[in-house]
Amino acid sequence: MELDSRLDMDFGYDLIDNGTSDDFYTPPFIFEALNVEFDMDVCAPVGGVPWIPAKRSLTIIEDGLITPWAGLVWCNPPFSTIRPWADKLVDYKNAIALLPLSKSVWSRQIWRKAAGIMILDKEPRYIKSDGTNAATMTIPVLMAFNESCVDILKNSGLGRVR
């Protein structure tokens, strides 16, 4: 189905599951610890995630890769296609992202350009679209792309920022 025809459909929360391994949502304890309201969640499922404190959520319909970002951004991109999100995060800078450690070109690029990187002290159990919890096979890190975002990470108590 083409995107244009989906714009006229009524999307419910039950249609969020894309049936992929990318349907893992950041657990609430991370946002409680960050203690900040984001202006945008740039990679949200249709219907958003109710516990993510963001004023606006960009879904596959708005396409966070082409829609301009504004204010403080939260990004938990699909782990299957991180490269374009990594590029945009590095260019945008006013963002915090949850990303996997990886042996990839994008990972090396973002590692060099992030203002701060935190391996979480507590391994998150992600929330799947059906409400169950799951872990991933990767080591998740929070990355900050400017000094004010680094301060948010430092004040969270979620781990040590480097």
Q: Domains in the chain and their CATH numbers? A: 3-156 (3.40.50)
Q: Quick: pLDDT tens for 56-81.
A: 999 989 999 999 999 999 999 988 88
pLDDT band at 5 (very low <50, low <70, confident <90, very high): very low
- The tokens for 144 are 């900050």
Sign of the alpha-carbon torsion through 51, 55, 60, 63: negative
Q: How many CB atoms lie within 10 A of CB 28?
A: 14
Q: Quick: pLDDT tens for 38-58.
A: 999 999 988 888 899 999 999
Q: What is the pTM of this model?
A: 0.81
